[in-house]
Amino acid sequence: MFESLEGYIEPGSEEDVLVRRIDLTRLPRHVAVIMDGNGRWAKQRGLSRIEGHRAGSDSVREIVEASARLGVKVLTLYAFSKENWRRPRREVSELWSLLRNYLKKDAHVLMENDLRLLVIGQKNGIPKIVLKELERVERETAVNGRMTVVLALNYGGRSEIVDAVKRILRERGTDPDALTEESFSGLLYTASLPDPDLLIRTSGELRVSNFLLWQIAYAEMWVTPVLWPDFRKKHFLQALVEYQQRERRFGDIRPR
């Protein structure tokens, strides 16, 4: 079991200095991450792109652990977008097989640490053999309550919204006034989750790439030039420190 921070953060280290600046009672409830830069990381080292993705999965393990230990309640990781199907077939199939291996090897970490897995995205479209594994782990971890790890797979923000509208047209009555922002949120893949408070993007790109378009309306954005395979708990802690320095106003003139 991941215990609290004791023994995890070396006293006097850079991480220790950062942790001391974080108010653990004011953490973002939901952190969403656009994990970007695996390809460039590999290219810099003369490696294949898939080596970059492999190295990126170590960052996933580290950030899942750091989030759980700190007490974040929801961690969403953008792992495969609907647009990522445009990549060379070999890269696409290697990405899915990496995910399958991760599930086989690491599902027990979720169980042992009371972490729930939730997949968002269009499930039909995910390779059957991977989907089977994903649904097994979702089922097995469904009652876990410490933190929810949300994997965005075959995910597109626009198609999520279109899917919700389709459901309204199909299932709901004809009263337009019955539709509210709350009821619409309840039709998205993220229905059971709070909106992200903090959106992290690695590798320096200043765009959202079709991620959680509805849900990030008031998220604080934090972009780092660090490439995803180099992203470590130290960077995550930096993001939290800066998040807590922001003044969130939600349209008001006073902080909220």
**C-beta of residue 235 within 8 angstroms of C-beta of residue 226:** yes
Q: Which is nearer to ligand IPE, 8 or 96 (CB)?
A: 96
Q: Locate tokens 């792109």: which residue? A: 49
Please pick, from the candidates 15, 36, 94, 160, the single residue that binds Mg ion as defined by CB under 5 A: 36
Short-list 161, 148, 136, 157, CA closest to 192: 148
Query: Residue 15, interface with Mg ion (CB under 5 A)?
Result: no
Q: Which is nearer to ligand IPE, 38 or 224 (CB)?
A: 38
Chain residues in the site for ligand IPE (CB under 6 A): 34-40, 78-81, 84, 95, 203, 205, 207, 209, 228
Binding segment for Mg ion (CB under 5 A), chosen from 36-44, 114-122, 168-176, 240-248, is 36-44
**C-beta of residue 212 within 8 angstroms of C-beta of residue 190:** yes
Q: In angstroms, what is the minimal distance from the CB of 99 to Mg ion? A: 16
H or E element at residue 170: helix 157-171
Q: Which is nearer to Mg ion, 14 or 205 (CB)?
A: 205
d(CA 53, CA 140): 26
Reply yes or no on whether 154 is catalytic: no
Short-list 248, 254, 252, 251, CA closest to 220: 248
**C-beta of residue 116 within 8 angstroms of C-beta of residue 141:** yes
Which of the following is catalytic: 16, 84, 114, 195? 84
d(CA 52, CA 233): 18
Q: Which is nearer to ligand IPE, 4 or 101 (CB)?
A: 101
Q: Which does 38 bind (CB under 5 to 8 A by kind): ligand IPE, Mg ion, none?
A: ligand IPE
Query: Residue 50, interface with Mg ion (CB under 5 A)?
Result: no
Q: In angstroms, what is the minimal distance from the CB of 126 to Mg ion? A: 20
Distance of CA 210 to the CA centre of its chain: 14
Residues belonging to the active site? 36, 84
